[in-house]
């Protein structure tokens, strides 16, 4: 029979691992943001400042989602 403490620790590791999937999604999202920034900059270089502002806002929002996923993994693991 499995001890409850071992089962709880195992469940925490599995839950924390599943919660870090959001960090991967954030990395892919940041790649898409800057790839599309480069494409749009190549098509219309006159509005570089405006495009860069939008890219930085998109980067910050995407990274916030990744950091929230990482925070959730730590909360699962250490609570």
Tens digits of per-residue pLDDT, 25-63?
A: 999 999 999 999 999 999 999 999 999 999 999 999 999
Residue 20 DSSP class: T
Strand stretches in 1-79, DSSP E: none
What is the rounded (10 degree) CA torsion for 59, 64, 69, 71?
140
Cβ contact 55:34 at 8 Å: yes
What angle in degrees, to the nearest 10, is found between the helix axes of 21-43 and 4-19? 0
pLDDT for residue 1: 64
pLDDT tens per residue across span 9-22: 999 999 999 999 98
Q: Quote the tokens at residue 18.
A: 């599943």
Q: pTM of this prediction?
A: 0.77
Q: How far apart are CA 77 and CA 26, in angstroms?
A: 20
Domain boundaries, given as residue ranges, for the chain: 34-79
CA–CA gap between residue 73 and residue 33 (Å, rounded):
25
């Amino acid at each position: 029979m499995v001890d409850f403490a071992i089962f709880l620790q195992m469940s925490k590791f599995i839950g924390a691992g599943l919660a870090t999937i959001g960090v991967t999604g954030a990395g892919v999202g940041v790649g898409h943001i800057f790839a599309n920034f480069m494409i749009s900059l190549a098509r219309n270089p006159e509005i570089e400042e405006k495009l860069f502002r939008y890219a930085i806002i998109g980067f910050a929002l995407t990274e916030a989602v990744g950091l929230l996923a990482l925070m959730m993994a730590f909360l699962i693991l250490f609570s």
